[in-house]
Amino acid sequence: MHLFSPLTLRSLTLRNRIAVSPMCQYSAVDGRANDWHLVHLGARAAGGAGLVMFEATAVEARGRISPADLGLWDDAQVEPLARVVRFVEAQGAATCLQLAHAGRKASTAPPWEGGGPVAPSAGGWLPVAPSALPFRDGDAAPHALDAGELRAVVQAFAAAARRATAAGFRAVEIHAAHGYLLHQFLSPLSNRRTDAYGGSFENRTRLVREVVSAVRAEWPEPLPVIVRISATDWVEEGGWDVAQSVELARGLAPLGVELVDVSSGGLVPTAKVPAGPGYQSGFAERIRREAHVATGAVGMIVAPEQADHVIRSGQADLVLMAREMLRDPHFPLRAARALGQDGPWPKQYLRAR
């Protein structure tokens, strides 16, 4: 098994084990994909990736990180995404849509505009969360969701999965990482509820399990469901950690999850993250070994030999790449050459092979 071995998830077989990690582009209008998304994602498909994961796509309007995020809460948003899907798939890459809800981290400006909160008077909205605890000091307190609103959130994920099917995606990923809504329910640092969705591990993981079950019920049985988690909050005590991540992953496989995409952090702005090359791969390895589920590794994986080692050494089944793919959309072709493998060159580029 190596970086250019095919990977089969249910009926979907990827041509290699390189995935373009979901990366927000903050370039949508009314949640709709446009030419930027076509060129951005299409270039990485032509560059040889096995799986192209579309950015966090909000299941309801108030679930967007920013007003410029992609969304799939309306049927009118299907065809703009389908246009991009068709092109990406035509280049030989499989497509995956990340279904997301930002929770208390919603209604913010794009990073190049400072990333701060956007007030309702400026086109923003009041974020929602498990508990009325803001992400940062000085932010407005979010609205704590009641039981009826939680049922609506679960149904919003399911409805978005139905639309993703209509758009032609071959996989969906449920975003339960990086301090967004589902992660907020997982961690005791952001979840202070006393009802069935707070307190114990069983209760804190309930919403994730309900969302997974609802999406799996709507998603075609032969196609895979992936879940992204943050393995740890990177706090000394009281937060979500890798032991709980193992336990969660162990319970996701019976619900129909094919792969756990293992990232970390994002819940609190004060976390001290010891970032470095491959700094999260060990989490993917432990979850793979102890939970007996396929995993994806992500985080500062930048060299062909490094990515290949992750697969060959059994740390993960899939390597997800973000910033390196921004720097070099043709990383898979370069990696294939460096590793002595056949790269999936587009016929239009064969003269440069």
Going along the chain from its start, the domains and CATH numbers come out as 7-352 (3.20.20.70)
Cross-strand pairs, 20: 52, 321
Residues 312-334 have a mean pLDDT of 98
Give the tens place of pLDDT for each residue, 84-123: 999 999 999 999 999 999 999 999 999 999 999 999 999 9
| Phi and psi, residue 325, nearest 5° | -70, -30
Q: Residue for token digits 């930048």?
A: 302
Calculated CA dihedral for residues 68, 145, 22, 88, nearest 10 degrees: -70
Per-chain mean pLDDT for the chain: 97
pLDDT over threshold 90, residue 306: yes
Encode burial over 122-139: b for 16+ CB neighbours within 10 A, e otherwise: eebeebbbbbebbbeeeb
User: Among 46-50, 53-57, 275-279, where is mean pLDDT lowest?
Assistant: 275-279
Q: What percent of the chain has pLDDT over 70?
A: 100
Q: What confidence score (pLDDT) does residue 236 get?
A: 87
Instruction: Give the list of residues 6+ apart from residue 63 with CB closer than 8 angstroms, or none.
Output: 71, 73, 100, 101, 102, 103, 106, 156, 181
Residues 249-274 have a mean pLDDT of 97
Among residues 180, 197, 279, 349, which one is catalytic? Answer: 180
Give the tens place of pLDDT for each residue, 162-179: 999 999 999 999 999 999
Q: Residue for token digits 């809504």?
A: 181
- Mark whether 180 is an active-site residue: yes
- In total, the chain counts a number of residues equal to 353
Which two three-digit tokens encode residue 319?
């390597």
**What pTM was estimated for this model as a whole?**
0.98
Output the CA torsion sign for 13, 14, 15, 16.
Answer: negative
pLDDT over threshold 90, residue 228: yes
pLDDT over threshold 90, residue 44: yes
Residues 32-48 have a mean pLDDT of 98
Residues 25-46 have a mean pLDDT of 98
